[in-house]
Amino acid sequence: MEGLNRAPDERVRAPSWAIAAAAALGAVAFLWAGWKAVSGSDAMLGEFAFAIAAGVAGFFVGRRDVTVIHRAIRRALEGHLEPAQALGRWRHGRAVADYNTLARRLSSLLDEMERSQLWTIAERNRVDAILQSLPCVMLVVDDDLFVASSNDRAEGLFGRGGTELRASNLFDLLELDDEGRELLREAFLYEQPLSNREIVLGSGESRRHFTMSVTFFKCALEAGGPCSVIMLQDVDDYRRLQQITYQSEKFVAMGRLAGGVAHELNTPLGTILGYAQLLNAGGASEAKRAQYGQAIYSEAKRCAQIIDNLLAYARRDRCVPETCDINAVIGIVIDTICNCRGNRYNVPIDVDLCECPPVLGGSGQLDIVLVNIVMNALQATSGSAREPRVLVASRVEGASAIVTVTDNGPGIAAGLHNRIFEPFFTTKGGNKGTGLGLAISQSIAVSVGGALHCDTTFRGGARFVLKLPLAQESSLGGTGT
């Protein structure tokens, strides 16, 4: 019915010869039958003739309907779908009425089809515009792995026109290295979608990094395998920029570290140099010389401590995934502190430990973390609190062990919660702090997949929270300590 033009007001006229013939025959039959009846010569024959005449007239009226419908059908085939109507005062029969109903329904169906067609075209244009404006290469691939359609960027990347691209096999077109080929092969074999997987396209000078995403969809009922959409995003420039940024960040960090180390070592070295000069000058009493010697010794020890801390910081990346019993480490750390380094603070340490499965991290590493946090707590409380107290607690939360070290000291000033984790940040005057303890502890916690932070919501002192992944929840095998 393509090209149908509908003009409902332009009615088809019934054939006038059929009407005229039917009317004439009807009239003759009627007159003859009437004459016979009036003359009384043959009443039976008159009735018979009347019936014949009526039948002939009915036949022509019926034929008139068929002719009208036939005409209308011919007009419809020529492209004009319109209702059929008899000419003049003759009323058309049921067949014409039914045909007209059919024509009306067909007409509204065609209207709807036309609207759908226009909508489909508009949608196709919209989708086409979206695909063309995509900032990446797009290929739609048939179930036989041949390109079915593509966007302009694909033509640009592969240097082929749309028609040529459509004749290309995906694997031949992409020129993947072995790794990428295997990745794509497996994706198609198991219909496994890919999302932003990095691949390398081309070789030599034209070698570039891309991310590839593959989505599968059913293209047609009779199709054997699925069709797919391949998206390729060129990330070569981004990677290069990332590398440059990474390098420059490393240089900045190195510069900061060097500056910090220089600053930290300069102070004790200056003191050592001063006392060494005094010793060298001679003339000092025995007691003074002993005092100078002691000062040189303690400052040299401080230098060694700074260097030890730096080495611990540098070694953190080489940690193997060990596991340990964190409650046992807490016990050892508290014993050591109470019996040795921390006993001069005279601050009681309470413990509240819950049963805890092994955690990731070697006891040697976590020992450093806990000593740093607990020593800080002791130092903070000893000088300020009326009844100084430190509490070390452990508990299990989901897939992690949580260790908290809480004290009732002055707490962390607002705005310093993040800064205290920066290397060389210290508020401890008189060469008492290096500012490396928390930085090192945090980097150790992160290196085992955990975290260390200061609870900003805690009031009445300071609370440090060490989060460590439970070994059983992790896929890493531990060596146990």
Contact with ligand ADP (CB under 6 A): which of 85, 213, 233, 426? 426
CB atoms within 10 A of CB 309: 20
CB atoms within 10 A of CB 324: 24
Please say which residue, 209 or 453, places its beta carbon nearer to ligand ADP.
453
Contact with ligand ADP (CB under 6 A): which of 30, 32, 146, 425? 425
Smallest distance, Å, CB 379 to ligand ADP? 7
Site mask, ligand ADP, residues 428-447, x = CB under 6 A?
x----xxxxxxx--------
Please say which residue, 124 or 428, places its beta carbon nearer to ligand ADP.
428
Site mask, ligand ADP, residues 404-423, x = CB under 6 A?
---x-xx-x-------x---
Please say which residue, 53 or 462, places its beta carbon nearer to ligand ADP.
462
Please say which residue, 174 or 377, places its beta carbon nearer to ligand ADP.
377
**DSSP labels, 453-480:** EE-TT--SSEEEEEEEEBGGGSSS----
Residue keyed to tokens 């009031």: 459
Smallest distance, Å, CB 417 to ligand ADP? 10
Smallest distance, Å, CB 404 to ligand ADP? 12
In angstroms, rounded to a whole number, what is the distance separating the alpha carbons of residues 377 and 385?
A: 11
Please say which residue, 70 or 389, places its beta carbon nearer to ligand ADP.
389
Instruction: Give the burial class of 359: count Cβ atoms within 10 A of its Cβ; 0-12 exposed, 13-18 middle, 19 or more buried.
Output: buried
From 401, 233, 214, select the one nearest 325 (Cα to Cα): 401
Please say which residue, 61 or 306, places its beta carbon nearer to ligand ADP.
306
Contact with ligand ADP (CB under 6 A): which of 14, 176, 310, 377? 377
**Which stretch, 142-150, 236-244, 267-275, 403-411, contacts ligand ADP (CB under 6 A)?**
403-411
Written as six digits, the tokens of 186 are 């497996």
Sequence-distant (6+) residues with CB within 8 A of 80 are 4, 5, 6, 7, 10
Q: Is 465 in the site for ligand ADP (CB under 6 A)?
A: no
Smallest distance, Å, CB 459 to ligand ADP? 13
Please say which residue, 19 or 438, places its beta carbon nearer to ligand ADP.
438
Site mask, ligand ADP, residues 331-370, x = CB under 6 A?
----------------------------------------
Please say which residue, 142 or 367, places its beta carbon nearer to ligand ADP.
367
In angstroms, rounded to a whole number, what is the distance separating the alpha carbons of residues 405 and 412?
A: 14
In angstroms, rounded to a whole number, what is the distance separating the alpha carbons of residues 88 and 94?
A: 17
Instruction: Give the burial class of 407: count Cβ atoms within 10 A of its Cβ; 0-12 exposed, 13-18 middle, 19 or more buried.
Output: buried
**Which stretch, 194-202, 203-211, 360-368, 426-434, contacts ligand ADP (CB under 6 A)?**
426-434
**DSSP labels, 20-46:** HHHHHHHHHHHHHHHHHHHHTS-HHHH
Contact with ligand ADP (CB under 6 A): which of 372, 400, 408, 443? 372
- 130-150 residues labelled b (16+ CB within 10 A) or e (exposed): ebeeeebbbbbbbbebebbbb
In this structure, what are the phi and psi dihedrals at residue 396, rounded to the nearest 5 degrees? -110, 135
Please say which residue, 130 or 351, places its beta carbon nearer to ligand ADP.
351
Written as six digits, the tokens of 454 are 């200061």
Between the alpha carbon of residue 264 and those of residues 390, 416, 419, 435, the distances in Å are: 29, 20, 17, 9
From 237, 218, 214, 236, select the one nearest 227 (Cα to Cα): 218
In angstroms, rounded to a whole number, what is the distance separating the alpha carbons of residues 357 and 471?
A: 8
Site mask, ligand ADP, residues 78-117, x = CB under 6 A?
----------------------------------------
Smallest distance, Å, CB 423 to ligand ADP? 8
| Region 25-44 residues binding ligand ADP, contact defined as CB under 6 A | none
478 close to 360: Cβ distance less than 8 angstroms: yes
Smallest distance, Å, CB 301 to ligand ADP? 15
Task: Give the binding site for ligand ADP (CB under 6 A).
Answer: 372, 376-377, 380, 407, 409-410, 412, 420, 425-428, 433-439, 462
